[in-house]
Amino acid sequence: MALLETVRAERLSKIERLKEAGMDAYPARTGRTHAVDQFLENHASLEKNSEQVMLAGRVMSMREHGGSLFVDIFDGMKGQCYVQRDKLGESSYDLFVDTVDAGDIVEFSGLAFTTKRGVPSLDVTGWRMLAKSLRPLPDEWYGIKDEDERFRKRYLDILLSKDLADRIRRRSKFWNVIRSYLLERDFVEVETPVLETTTGGAEARPFETHHNALDMDVYLRISAGELWQKRLLIAGLPKVFEIGRIFRNEGMSAEHAQDYTQMECYEAFKDYEAGMEMVTDLYRTIADKVYGTRVFKIKDVTVDLDKEWETYDFSALMQKEYGLDPLAEGADWASALGKRNIPFESGAGIERLVDIAWKQIRKTFQGPGFLINVPVYMEPLAKKSVKDPRVVERFQVMIAGSEIGKGFSELNDPVDQAERFKRQQQLREAGDDEAQMPDAEFVEALEYGMPPAFGFGVSERLFSFLEGVSVREGQIFPLMRPR
């Protein structure tokens, strides 16, 4: 800390030196004519025509060479500037040497030229400070190694890591490929409330806050507007989607964050079988347009999205593993978990017990594939299967042992929906704070008639899986506990 304060003091004194020379250390405007990538792309013609150029960027390093300086700058792309005493003049060169440090953002004017080693560069004839840095950058070759420090100072991590900067660009492309895919198929992008009086669309513990103007407690949403988007189907909009932030007040892991981005879409007059076809095509499109490949290494597993996707029968798999039928009444799942020393909360309902049991075996399924035939009691928002009313028409995308997306034929029977909400309320009263909250106003909307529909949601977990990193690593600024 003492060293940092010494460096800051020195750099503050350099600001005073700039002021004395009549140069603002933080001007509002720059005369930049070219970004570095534009400069490099057009370097040959700029050099041939002796065209005056002005570049601006962060000084990453300076190397002295025979009384002159080679300065590497960065504005998203790295470029080289050649600073010479005889080109700048004695006073301007000395001011540069006395006041400019690595980390400063500087404007350089001059002419394009090529060094003896063939490096496209700018022969500097003038310079100006744009932003004086008060803290030294970490060594760009080593960056920040401590994970906690990297997340806290993500801006430095991004600055010093081309791979991380490129990941942010891919993240943007990932969501825009999804957006374009849906828009090209006539889906309408919508925005639904983030603050809700009841949370719906998922089973999760919500964040709570207080709305001062209305003097009432509200929740941050736990889904990207599922029940709101279904209201839009009722309203006559047959294809809608939202890409937005959702919030779940739950545990943290390599696959779980508390605030993250999710896409949810709904299409009237389609069912979950048609949805599986669309999702297969969507995931392959993401792979093609973002990564240029359909084969990924995820958690030491090779996943090929191009092969035929498998189908996994939930009830059959559970019966094979535990010797219990999740569709049968009276099955003792508590004993089955207890025999395997799998922890669960005392008094947990069958919904939670079966879910815990499933999570113990799902890691064995490489995928890509669809998990189907989940019991009705595990999904309060999906239609019962025509073939077997004990299960719902729901699928979950299975990739590398995890669930990476969920879709179903949407429940549009208001009487059935009211009964399932009633069961969720019983679970909440029994202490299950992840059970869904009943939404009487949504049931009322269903009573006006909602067309049969397919719904699907996928979160940024898919992005992190395709990147081969944790969800937190895949986020730009993951949440950190204050020091």
Q: From first to last of its 483 residues, what are the pLDDT tens digits of the chain? A: 688 899 999 999 999 999 999 999 999 999 999 999 999 999 999 999 999 999 999 999 999 988 899 999 999 999 999 999 999 999 999 999 999 999 999 999 999 999 999 999 999 999 999 999 999 998 766 667 788 889 999 999 999 999 999 999 999 999 999 999 999 999 999 999 999 999 988 888 999 999 999 999 999 999 999 999 999 999 999 999 999 999 999 888 888 899 999 999 999 999 999 999 999 999 999 999 999 999 999 988 999 999 999 999 999 999 999 999 999 988 899 999 999 999 998 888 898 999 999 999 998 899 999 999 999 999 999 999 999 999 999 999 999 999 999 999 999 999 999 999 999 999 888 888 888 889 999 999 999 999 999 999 999 999 999 999 999 999 999 999 888
> Cβ atoms within 10 A of the Cβ of 451, count?
14
Q: How far is CA 254 from CA 82, 134, 223, 473, in A?
A: 46, 35, 20, 9
**Among candidate residues 159, 98, 174, the one with its CA nearest the CA of residue 132:** 98
The predicted pLDDT at position 142 comes to 66
The whole-angstrom separation of Cα 397 and Cα 375 is: 17
CATH architecture classification, 2-137: Beta Barrel (2.40)
Contacts 24+ apart (CB under 8 A), 291-295: 291/170, 291/466
Buried/exposed 308-337: b ≥16 CB within 10 Å, e otherwise? ebeebebbebbbeebebebbeeebebeebb
The structural domains of the chain, with segments of one domain joined by +, span 2-137, 157-474
Q: How far is CA 323 from CA 24, 86, 290, in A?
A: 76, 86, 43
The predicted pLDDT at position 434 comes to 82
The whole-angstrom separation of Cα 39 and Cα 98 is: 28
The predicted pLDDT at position 1 comes to 66
Beta bridge partners of 311: 370
The predicted pLDDT at position 294 comes to 98
Contacts 24+ apart (CB under 8 A), 353-358: 354/318, 354/326, 354/378, 357/318, 357/321, 357/322, 357/333, 358/314, 358/318
The predicted pLDDT at position 66 comes to 83
The predicted pLDDT at position 347 comes to 82
Q: Which CATH superfamily is domain 157-474 in?
A: Bira Bifunctional Protein; Domain 2 (3.30.930.10)
